[in-house]
Chain A
């Protein structure tokens, strides 16, 4: 078991944040393996369990004041969303031990699931990457809206209006695009079906791609958007990039 610091003043180098669902019995064996491996690697640290503690962000801030250097999330994409803002604000290194479903961010960062992730933490390849911000909340991978013809204002200079309903993706880090999360830009991709000739012509997919530092999406009706896979609703999305905001531990198989 990793050592849990008892002292209120002791320095914690590593803080492991367990999501609530990790406490389910089905993850018990894998968690035990992870804890043993971390001890073997000399990476043991304090454990914070979301759901039992007051709030993960408050706990992280307290530990940073005591010298915390690295926060490691044990969970999935949703767990990362819960701590992303405080980790970026405090400038501590960020690691992931993926467990459970929907772990696309860990895949993009080249981190294998379960106990194998401990060796990635040990190798400690730290990359500093950009974060996207939508309505004041950060995201790592991307933001998307489906089935919309909402107007997009780009960097305050020009407007892009889809002629028909389509999708809008704002990508920071992706396996399918060549987007570089260290270039200080987000890649906005607007996909719209159109007819290239008359009304008899075949409908085709047009893919508009804009490297941007900021954009705003406005709609009369509220739209459902996803940021790092997490859904939320609004009729106004203000999106920008925060260059080199996150120090993240990556594996050799990272997608950038």
Chain B
């Protein structure tokens, strides 16, 4: 999954505003992007984008993550704050709290944390929360 950025000798043109963190590099610190983000490598710190985030199956993120929308296939250790839709694919592992308006969880995805789904984005984080933290495997 998401391996179009890591194989072959041919360079595939990509959206110039898209940030790609491929396998083979490690990112540490406050990572902020204004465009779409694809993460296949390791990230430690914070990840924030106003656009879409895709986390590949080989990615390891030790960070709080904030994005408008996200599709996750890898491992995230940190809280996920997603403005719109969050899609957790079958290989995904999340150790942290999740906030999202729309959530899709594939069979096999693992979530260890609190889940908050608030229909009012402006009140997100202040609204009622779901049940206490639990370990779950979809």
The interface of chain A, by Cβ under 8 A from chain B, is: 157-164, 166, 176-180, 183, 185, 187, 190, 192-194, 196, 204-211
Contacts and interface: CB of A to CB of B under 8 A. Distances in A.
Contact of A207 (B22, B32, B33): B22
Helix, strand, loop or mixed for chain B's interface?
loop
B20 A208 contact: yes
Contact of A161 (B18, B26, B31): B26
A159 B41 contact: no
A212 to B, nearest CB: 9
29 contacts: A158-B28, A158-B29, A158-B45, A159-B28, A160-B26, A161-B25, A161-B27, A161-B28, A163-B25, A164-B24, A176-B13, A178-B13, A183-B16, A183-B17, A187-B16, A190-B22, A194-B23, A204-B7, A205-B6, A206-B24, A206-B25, A207-B11, A207-B22, A208-B22, A209-B5, A209-B14, A209-B19, A211-B33, A211-B35
A178 B12 CA distance: 10
Interface of B: 3, 5-9, 11, 13-33, 35, 40-41, 45, 58
Contacts of B21: 160, 208, 210
Contacts, number: 97
Given A207-B6, A207-B11, A192 B16 contact: no
Q: Which 7 A-B pairs have the closest CB atoms?
A: A158-B29, A206-B22, A192-B24, A194-B24, A206-B24, A209-B20, A206-B23
A205 B22 CA distance: 9
Given A157-B29, A207-B6, A163 B17 contact: no
